[in-house]
């Protein structure tokens, strides 16, 4: 069974492994772009009263750094692993809806390109309202250009990709598990994918509503967020953070899943307290819905609301702490191998703990009144999202790279990458705790020498340089591995889950024979028996129509962007035609 | 201020903060040096939580490091014992954080209610109104209006009522306590009693557009007599410049270049768009407190506002080089 390799085979693919790779490379490029934006920010802040970057460009840079990292880098990097790994872990041949999966990818790509196209227009009208886009600053009255339109329309498009992917993975994990793969035998990464998918399908409708209101305000002159006509800008904040906090868990839970796979493998011990870790993840998913106003303690919601949200926020520390203790207990008494993947997973525990603890200091609203919107908060969430999510995702990259490519990344370069990241990360973000407590606000393009935080800012900028260097090492490692990496074989790490029972990279149909699962750690507890040679295995052919349907969405978005009504009908026609042909595509080709 | 000293010592000791010492001080916007009852209450809460966090940090990172060092794979060793879990341990490390959180939650809720902005009897009322990108201050009981620099008396309760006319800002003088958002259509209150005389720096801390970084502020805590003197001076309209003086011609420039359309000077103009300039000569700063009030800065600022403060609502009025000195002399005379 040979595999086509031409361009067409990639454009029309519905294979979850290829879509996973497309997600990975696209998200990785956006990660580099978001990182480049961060380096420009740090260059500007390296000294006080710097004039390297103008105020307007700086405001665009931090807006797009946040938006890019959240929606175009971290989420889709996690989605790359959902795509590639989850069907392999649960013993399936593909996801439940392969063409919908392709649709998700193309929508993601086009939405991300749509928003970033704003950099390329004359005077680069890139979004400049912050990733949180607070009204009334994002209203037409205060932001007349197309900047915010690019942002809100791009986010709407990206949201559709997330919704489609969320539904797909829920159905996949619930329905396509191999015989014997009970829910309580599901690998933790697949469990966290399930929880994350539920969060995606419930959280994204909230921001969709918020963005529709904003679009109506900007395009049709409604007043949802404008106080002059009875609207309220605080409504935006409630809607945004009602989405935004579950979004934080959408970003961290997949990384927690990765860590829960990597630690047992490289300790040669089962995950300690599997059920507790799984239920903690589910509980975090639920509780994530009850804490949104902790982003709004300075808004003045009143002492009762502040108290309630302070307590719910503190409560969420309990399941999070439980997870950390279970990971530590997994290490305890194990036989630890300090591979690069393991180093990143251990780095996750070390750094995420710091982010969690600084989070508790602003779970207390009065303390938060001194901290919110300062660099202290920037330090906090970078320990969570860089120290946590990115460290976890890097662990996943080193761990699953041999499965995805058939070759191992260099461990020596990997460790150089790890230490540059670990040291650079702390050098960049640890001083920000002090910069913030000493009174420097976030989102300012310039600061006064009088604040006394010059050298700490310079230190932070140097750390950012180290992070950039680390990424160069990583890119070199990936490039080098194409030809020089050691051949991995099916199970280079002695992993216990099903993805390690098949060749690397796996054949198109994944499993010659769908395995029957009798334990949580099938490869450790019951090594696979030789399987009879397979007969013909049907693999669906590719399809153009998911991409065609996806192409209709950015075309539709051009209508509100350019205030031209007829374009929306063209876009809708493309979308509907794509869906029609998709629906009536012959099943077998 | 022994509190402050104790606090910074703990910080430095714990985290090896030669760094801060190397960077020098003073830190005019430090949140760790509170000088009001509000600021002290917030700081006390933060300090308590900080030490709990340090305790947890040491335990978790200690266990992590110990495990990494102690439980390494040795060649030829057989597979380790396959523990799947331990119910008592699970209960223990669920209850332990819960217990710590009780010790954090109780003072938190207490402090929330204590710092809710309830005005003490006899408090001086000040209205703070955020604009892109400057602060308007009104003293409703004293009939005063000023900009960017607030004066309050030491030792007397003050309640500020914070709102905005355009986008969301946040008013913050770190040493006097926490911030509150200035939201159009909403009114937030901060109540505090300043403990020591001095000049305190602050700035807008909610992203509010192009010149967010330049939207700064100063709060002056005056002695009681100093505050009374300031109030008395603010209530009197500045003297009209002597005929034929540069100030007198500057006053004409003030009309010629349309300054009167946006700015109020008592007895001269009634513009309401920009800051009230009646006593601008007494202020220490200009342009949203982003520059010191010197002749050179006035020259730069009036000559090209958007060049000094990106996005500035004050357009470049193209004041001729010949007219500029007189106009600046007039502004400086407004005392």
Residue B273 domain flag: yes
Return the pLDDT at A446. Answer: 97
Cα radius of gyration (chain B): 27
pLDDT at A409 over 70: yes
At A3 the pLDDT is 67
Q: A223 pLDDT exceeds 90?
A: yes
Distance CA B203, CA B222 (A): 20
Q: Taking 60 as the threshold, does the pLDDT of residue B14 lie above it?
A: no
CB contact under 8 A, A370 and B177: yes
Rounded Cα gap, residues A140 and A146, in angstroms:
9
User: What percent of chain B lies above the pLDDT cut of 70?
Assistant: 93
Quick: pLDDT tens for B185-211.
Answer: 999 999 999 999 999 999 999 999 999
* CA A154 – CA A554 distance, rounded (Å): 8
What are B279's two structure tokens?
């006593």
Confidence class for position A579, pLDDT limits 50, 70, 90? very high
The verdict on A519 touching B (C-beta cutoff 8 Å) is: no
Element (H, E) at B117: none
Final residue in a domain of this structure, among B235, B267, B299: B235
For the cut 60, the answer to whether the pLDDT of residue B6 exceeds it is no
% residues pLDDT > 90 (chain A): 94
- Identify which of B175, B15, B35, B133 has the alpha carbon closest to the alpha carbon of residue A379: B15
- Percentage above 70 pLDDT, chain A: 98
Taking Cα atoms as reference points, which of B217, B253, B225, B219 lies closest to residue B329? Answer: B253
Instruction: Decide if pLDDT at B18 tops 80.
Output: no
Pair type for strands B144-147 and B198-203: unpaired
Does A2 have pLDDT greater than 60? no
SS percent in chain A: helix, strand, coil, step 5: 70, 0, 30
DSSP A387: I
Q: What is the pLDDT of residues A458-517, one digit of tens each?
A: 999 999 999 999 999 999 999 999 989 999 999 999 999 999 999 999 999 999 889 999
> What are the pLDDT digits (tens) for A139-161?
999 999 999 999 999 999 999 99
Asked which of B185, B214, B235 is the last residue of a domain, the reply is B235
Say if residue A542 is exposed, middle or buried (CB neighbours under 10 Å; 0-12, 13-18, 19+).
Answer: buried
Question: Residue B250 falls within a domain, yes or no?
Answer: yes
Whether chain B has a CB inside 8 Å of the CB on A312: the answer is no
Q: Which 3-state string (H, E, C) describes A67-90? A: HHHHHHHHHHHHHHHHHHHHHHHH
DSSP states along B208-236: -STTGGG-EEEEEEE-HHHHHHHHHHHHS
pLDDT of residue A1: 41
- Distance from the B179 Cα atom to the nearest Cα atom in chain A, whole angstroms: 5
Contact call for residues A426 and A388 (beta carbons, < 8 A): no
**Position of tokens 């601008």?**
B280
Residue B240, domain member (yes or no)? no
d(CA A269, CA A285): 26
Query: Average pLDDT in the A246-271 region?
Result: 97
- Containing structural domain, residue B176: 124-235
For residue B10, the model assigns a pLDDT of: 52
Residues with Cβ within 8 Å of residue A179, at least 6 apart in sequence = A514, A516, A517
As a whole number of angstroms, the distance between CA A358 and CA A366 comes to: 14
Write the DSSP string, A118-135: GGTSTT-----STTTT-T
Task: Using the predicted structure, report yes or no on whether residue B286 has a pLDDT greater than 80.
Answer: yes
Q: What was the pLDDT predicted at A588?
A: 63
Residues B262 and B209 in one domain: no
Restricting to A residues 449-508, those with a Cβ less than 8 Å away from any Cβ of B are: 450-456, 459
Q: Which of residues 134-193 of A touch B (CB under 8 A)?
A: 134, 136-137, 142-143
Longest Cα–Cα distance of chain B, Å, equals: 101
Contact list in A for residue B79 (CB cut-off 8 A) is: 268, 335
Give yes or no: residues B227 and B266 share one domain: no
Residue A321 contacts residue B93 (beta carbons within 8 Å): yes
pLDDT of residue A212 exceeding 90: yes
Same-domain pairing of B131 and B230: yes
User: Six-digit token pair at A514?
Assistant: 């769908």
Contact A335 B80 (CB under 8 A): yes
**Rounded Cα–Cα distance for residues B314 and B308 (Å):** 11
Mean of pLDDT values over B252-262: 94
Residue B1 pLDDT level (bands cut at 50, 70, 90): very low
- Enter the DSSP assignment of A293: G
Tell whether the model's pLDDT for residue B19 goes beyond 80. no
* pTM of the predicted model as reported, rounded to 2 decimal places: 0.95
Each residue's pLDDT tens digit, A95-116: 999 999 999 999 999 999 999 9
Closest Cα in chain A, distance from residue B187 (Å): 8
Strand bridging mode B144-147 / B188-193: unpaired
Contact A130 B22 (CB under 8 A): no
Residue partners of A362: CB distance under 8 A and separation at least 6 = A294, A297, A368, A371, A372, A376, A377, A380
When mean pLDDT is compared across A567-571, B81-85, B100-104, B230-234, the lowest value belongs to B81-85
| A506-562 pLDDT, tens digit each | 999 999 889 999 999 999 987 767 677 677 787 778 899 999 999 999 999 999 999
What is the distance between the alpha carbons of residues A510 and A502, in angstroms, rounded to a whole number? 7
The tokens of A242 are what? Answer: 């009602």
What region does A209 belong to: left with phi over 0, alpha with psi -120 to 50, or beta?
A: alpha
Answer yes or no: is B187 within a domain.
Answer: yes
DSSP at A445: S
Confidence of residue A82 (pLDDT cuts 50, 70, 90): very high
- In this structure, the answer to whether residues B220 and B133 fall within a common structural domain is yes
Give the pLDDT mean for B91-99.
94
Q: Residue B164: which CATH number?
A: 2.60.40.420
> Mean pLDDT of all residues in chain B?
91
B206, B211, B291, B309: best to mutate for the A interface, most A CBs within 10 A: B206
Q: Is the pLDDT of residue B22 over 70?
A: no
In chain A, the residue whose alpha carbon lies closest to the alpha carbon of B208 is A137
User: Percentages helix, strand, coil for chain B, rounded to the nearest 5?
Assistant: 40, 20, 40
pLDDT digits (tens, 9 = 90+) for A194-206: 999 999 999 999 9
Q: Which chain B residues are closer than 8 Å to A315 by Cβ?
A: 101
* pLDDT given at position B233: 94
- Specify the 3-state DSSP secondary structure of A61: helix
pLDDT at B15: 53
What is the pLDDT, as a whole number, of residue A526?
79
| B294 and B207 in a common domain | no
CB within 8 Å of A17: residues ≥ 6 apart: A83, A84, A404, A505, A506, A508, A510
Nearest beta carbon to residue A321 from set B93, B204, B208: B93
- Any domain includes B149: yes
Residues B95-102, mean pLDDT to the nearest whole number: 95
Q: Which residue of B has its CA nearest to A347?
A: B64
> What does the pLDDT look like over A176-191, one tens digit per residue?
999 999 999 999 999 9
- Whether B239 contacts B65, CB under 8 Å: no
Same domain, residue pair B295 and B323: yes
Whether residue A172 contacts residue A95, with contact meaning beta carbons closer than 8 Å, is answered with yes
Q: Is A372 exposed, middle or buried (0-12, 13-18, 19+ CB in 10 A)?
A: buried
Helices A340-361 and B37-70 pack at an angle, to 10 degrees, of 160
Q: Please report whether residue B180 resides in a domain.
A: yes
What six digits make up the tokens of B121?
């009897």
3-class DSSP assignment, residue A329: helix
pLDDT 10s digits, B126-184: 999 999 999 999 999 999 999 999 999 999 999 999 999 999 999 999 999 999 999 99
Q: How far apart are the first and last CA of chain B?
A: 34
Q: Using 50, 70 and 90 to split pLDDT, how confident is the model at A398?
A: very high
Give dist(CA B186, CA B208) in Å, integer: 16
Where does a domain end: B186, B203, B235? B235
Residue of A nearest to B188 (CA): A300
Determine the 3-state secondary structure of A410 from DSSP.
coil
Question: Nearest residue of B to residue A370 by CA position?
Answer: B178
End-to-end CA distance of chain A: 16
Domain count along chain B: 2
| DSSP per-residue string spanning A212-262 | HHHHIIIII---SS-GGGT--HHHHHHHHHHHHHHHHHHHHHHHHHHHHHH
Looking at the domain covering A7-511, what would its CATH class be?
Answer: mainly alpha
Instruction: Say whether B112 and A227 touch across the interface (CB within 8 A).
Output: no
Q: What pLDDT band is residue B79 in, cutting at 50, 70 and 90?
A: confident
Distance CA A299, CA A293 (A): 9
Binary contact (B28, A372; C-beta < 8 A): no
Question: Going along B172-288, which residue ranges are E strands?
Answer: 180-182, 188-193, 198-203, 216-222, 264-265, 269-270, 285-286
Mean pLDDT, chain A, integer: 95
Dihedrals φ, ψ of A177, to 5°? -70, 145
How far is residue B311 CA from its own chain's centroid? 21
Within a domain: B312: yes
- Residue A279 tokens read as 């239920």
């Amino acid at each position: 069974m040979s595999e086509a390799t031409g361009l067409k085979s990639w454009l029309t693919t519905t294979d979850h492994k290829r879509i996973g790779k497309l997600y990975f490379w696209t998200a990785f490029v956006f990660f580099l772009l978001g990182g480049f934006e961060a380096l420009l920010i740090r260059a500007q802040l390296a000294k006080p009263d710097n004039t390297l970057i103008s105020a307007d460009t700086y405001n665009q840079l931090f807006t797009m750094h946040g938006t890019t990292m959240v929606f175009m880098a971290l989420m889709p990097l996690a989605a790359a692993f959902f795509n590639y790994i989850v069907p392999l872990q649960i013993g399936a041949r593909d996801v439940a809806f392969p063409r919908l999966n392709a649709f998700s990818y193309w929508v993601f790509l086009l939405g991300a390109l749509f928003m970033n196209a704003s950099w390329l227009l004359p005077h680069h009208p890139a979004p400049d309202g912050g990733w949180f886009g607070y009204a009334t600053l994002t209203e037409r009255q205060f932001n007349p250009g197309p900047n915010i339109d690019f942002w809100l329309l791009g986010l709407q498009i990206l949201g559709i990709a997330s919704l489609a992917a969320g539904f797909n993975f829920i159905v996949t994990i619930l329905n396509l598990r191999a015989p014997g793969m009970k829910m309580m035998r599901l690998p933790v990464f697949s469990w966290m994918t399930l929880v994350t998918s539920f969060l995606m399908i419930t959280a994204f409708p909230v921001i969709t509503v918020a963005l529709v209101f904003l679009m109506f305000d900007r395009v049709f002159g409604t007043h949802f967020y404008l106080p002059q006509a009875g609207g309220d800008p605080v409504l935006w904040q409630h809607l945004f953070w009602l989405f935004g906090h579950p979004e934080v868990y959408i970003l961290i839970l997949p990384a927690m899943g990765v860590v829960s796979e990597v630690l047992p493998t490289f300790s040669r011990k089962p995950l300690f307290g599997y059920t507790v870790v799984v239920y903690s993840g589910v509980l975090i998913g639920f509780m994530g819905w009850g804490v949104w106003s902790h982003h709004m303690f300075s808004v003045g919601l009143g002492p009762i609301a502040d108290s309630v949200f302070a307590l719910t926020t503190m409560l969420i520390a309990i399941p999070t702490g439980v997870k950390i203790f279970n990971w530590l207990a997994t290490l305890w008494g194990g036989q630890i191998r300090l591979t690069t993947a393991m180093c990143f997973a251990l780095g996750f525990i070390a750094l995420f703990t710091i982010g969690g603890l600084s989070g508790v200091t602003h779970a207390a609203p009065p303390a938060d009144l001194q901290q919110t919107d300062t660099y202290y908060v920037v330090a906090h969430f970078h320990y969570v999202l860089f120290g946590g999510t990115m460290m976890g995702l890097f662990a996943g990259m080193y761990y699953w790279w041999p499965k995805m490519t058939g070759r191992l990344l260099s461990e020596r370069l990997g460790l150089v990458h790890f230490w540059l990241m670990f040291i650079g990360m702390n050098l960049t973000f640890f001083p920000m705790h002090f910069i913030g407590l000493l009174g420097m606000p976030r989102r300012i393009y310039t600061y006064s020498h009088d604040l006394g935080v010059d050298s700490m800012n310079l230190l932070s900028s140097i750390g950012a340089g180290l992070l950039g260097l680390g990424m160069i090492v990583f890119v070199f490692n990936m490039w080098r591995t194409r030809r020089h990496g050691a051949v991995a074989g099916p199970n280079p790490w002695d992993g216990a889950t099903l993805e390690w029972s098949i060749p690397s990279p796996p054949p198109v149909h994944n499993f010659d024979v769908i395995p029957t699962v009798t334990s949580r750690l099938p490869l450790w507890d019951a090594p696979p028996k030789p399987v009879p040679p397979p007969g013909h295995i049907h693999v669906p052919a590719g399809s153009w129509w998911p991409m065609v349907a996806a192409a209709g969405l950015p075309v539709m978005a051009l209508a509100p962007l350019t205030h031209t009504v007829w374009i929306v009908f063209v876009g809708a026609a493309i979308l509907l035609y794509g869906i029609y042909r998709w629906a009536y595509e012959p099943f077998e080709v | 201020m022994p509190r402050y000293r104790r606090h910074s010592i703990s910080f430095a000791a714990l985290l090896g903060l030669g760094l801060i010492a190397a960077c020098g001080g003073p830190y005019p916007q430090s949140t760790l040096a509170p000088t009001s009852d509000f600021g002290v209450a917030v700081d006390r809460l933060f300090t308590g939580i900080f030490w709990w966090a340090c305790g947890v940090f040491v335990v978790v990172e200690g266990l992590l490091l110990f495990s990494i060092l102690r439980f390494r794979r040795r060649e030829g060793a057989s597979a380790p014992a396959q523990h799947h879990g331990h119910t008592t341990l699970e209960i223990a490390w669920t209850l332990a954080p819960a217990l710590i959180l009780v010790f954090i939650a109780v003072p938190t809720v207490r402090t929330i209610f204590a710092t809710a902005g309830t005005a003490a009897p006899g408090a001086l009322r000040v209205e703070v109104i955020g604009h892109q990108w400057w602060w308007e201050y009104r003293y409703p009981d004293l009939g005063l209006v000023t900009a960017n620099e607030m004066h309050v008396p030491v030792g007397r309760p003050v309640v500020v009522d914070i709102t905005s006319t355009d986008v969301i800002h946040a008013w913050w003088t770190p040493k006097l306590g926490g911030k509150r958002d200035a939201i159009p259509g909403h009114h937030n209150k901060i109540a505090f009693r300043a403990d020591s005389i001095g000049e305190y720096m602050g700035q807008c801390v909610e992203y509010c557009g192009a010149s967010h970084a330049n939207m700064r502020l100063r709060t002056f805590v005056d002695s009681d007599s100093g505050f009374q003197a300031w109030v008395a001076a603010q209530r009197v309209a500045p003297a009209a410049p002597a005929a034929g003086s540069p100030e007198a011609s500057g006053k004409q420039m003030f009309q010629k270049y349309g300054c009167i359309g946006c700015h109020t000077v008592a007895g001269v103009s009634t513009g309401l768009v920009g800051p009230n300039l009646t006593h601008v000569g007494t202020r220490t700063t200009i342009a949203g407190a982003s520059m010191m009030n010197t002749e050179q800065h006035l020259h730069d600022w009036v000559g090209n506002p958007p060049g000094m403060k990106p996005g500035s609502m004050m357009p470049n009025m193209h004041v001729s080089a010949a007219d500029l000195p007189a106009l600046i002399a007039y502004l400086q005379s407004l005392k």
